[in-house]
Amino acid sequence: MKKIIFLLLCFTSIVNAQEINKIDIQKSAKTFKLDTLKLKFSGEGFSFLKSEINANHFFLLGEYHNSNLVSKFTQSLFPELKQSGFKVWVTEISPTSVNKLNSFLNSKNYLKEITAFNTKYGKNNNPIPFFSSKADFEMLQESKNQDFQLWGIDQHFFGGFQFVMDDIFNGYDAKTKEENKTIIADANKPNGDAAFNKIFDLSKNKLAPTIKQEMLASIAIYTDYSKGNYFLNNTVRSKLMKTNFYKYHSDFLKINKTDPKVFVKLGSNHVAKGLSPLGIADFGNAIQQQAELKNKKSLHIQLCYRYEYDNKNNLIDGLEAGDYPIELLELYNENEWIIIDLRPFQSKLYDLQLKKDAKINLSKKMIDCINQFDVLILSPEKYK
């Protein structure tokens, strides 16, 4: 009888959960501050975030790209992550780009060499995306200071093709260089496929075949995009991310025997649970499933901003743009970060969506975020 009464009470609570609105969401918000000089967090919101770092095996930060403040935020997170046992940092670059960054980190003249590298190869596009500013370089250095392994799970971006070909060519012996001194110029011509392949085939570098396949897979992804095959483009890219991650993970376990706690920093589309904003089961969904299989937890965060400057330096309010939930953006504070835990609303939203007469007075973007992420963080940055 007690079990029946309990079940009836549960059913009654579901029936009575008739409404959810933005006030419910906004009341749950907490705030925190980040001192970008001392690289220290403070406030109730960060106490919550720190407890989540401790509680989760996978910590996924869905960023907006190319922000110095986000890099400072990440740099400040590394000591906290290390203290909680995290050992790996997953990034949105290729394995070859990771090897290149590690070669700079191992140099005594790290900052000078990586700056010169970006100057040489970054005339049109960054040779290694998301590692182009002083804040990015300091973030990377801090990851090394905290003993993180860097895993690059993404495609190789076109902006970095040139440095890869140069590095392979520079590994040739003198005779091979002389006999093929025009090979890179030939590869950069419109019909340079044969020369491109030959660059790698002539190399005695044991990694050359793997690097070549990485380049070819990336070219195929770009080709799908250029032909307008966006679903295929995003699906193949997502599969590549997962494949690269599992390869890194397998190699780690062979050496260390223990399952590493993993920090993920990718664009927010890639860290969502279920179907991502791009409409695919992306990397974040795979990590959620991985966590469930291991009986562990994953936290999926979306970083947001309200204001940005356009190319004419006009400040644009993103309140009506639809990129992020208005329920969050309305809380904007230029001196503090806003953080909202979405998980208490997930079951309530699920129940209401099953009811015909329920009132869900939320923006579509907020409903999507509740389904796709665990936490929202609003940055005080005015984004350029």
Domain boundaries, the chain: 19-161+260-382
pLDDT digits (tens, 9 = 90+) for 40-53: 999 999 999 999 99
Report the pLDDT value the prediction gives residue 202, as an integer from 0 to 100: 97
CB 70 within 8 A of CB 36: no
Interval 260-286: pLDDT, tens: 999 999 999 999 999 999 999 999 999
Share the mean pLDDT of the chain. 94
pLDDT of residue 3: 53
The 10 Å Cβ neighbour count of residue 109 is 10
User: pTM of the entire structure?
Assistant: 0.94
Give the residue with greater pLDDT, 237 vs 124: 237
Q: Note the Cα 362 to chain centre separation in Å.
A: 26
CB contact at 8 A, 295 and 275: no
Q: What percent of the chain has pLDDT over 90?
A: 91
| pLDDT one-digit tens code per residue, 110-120 | 999 999 999 99
Q: How would residue 5 be classed by pLDDT, with cut points 50, 70 and 90?
A: very low
- For the stretch 60-100, pLDDT in tens is 999 999 999 999 999 999 999 999 999 999 999 999 999 99
Dist CA 277 CA 281 (whole Å): 10
Q: Is the pLDDT of residue 14 over 70?
A: no
What residues does 42 pair with on adjacent strands?
33
Question: Does the structure show a pLDDT above 60 at 339?
Answer: yes
Lowest-pLDDT choice from 5-9, 305-309, 367-371: 5-9
Task: Quote the radius of gyration of the chain (alpha carbons, Å).
Answer: 23
Burial of 8 (0-12, 13-18, 19+ CB in 10 A): exposed
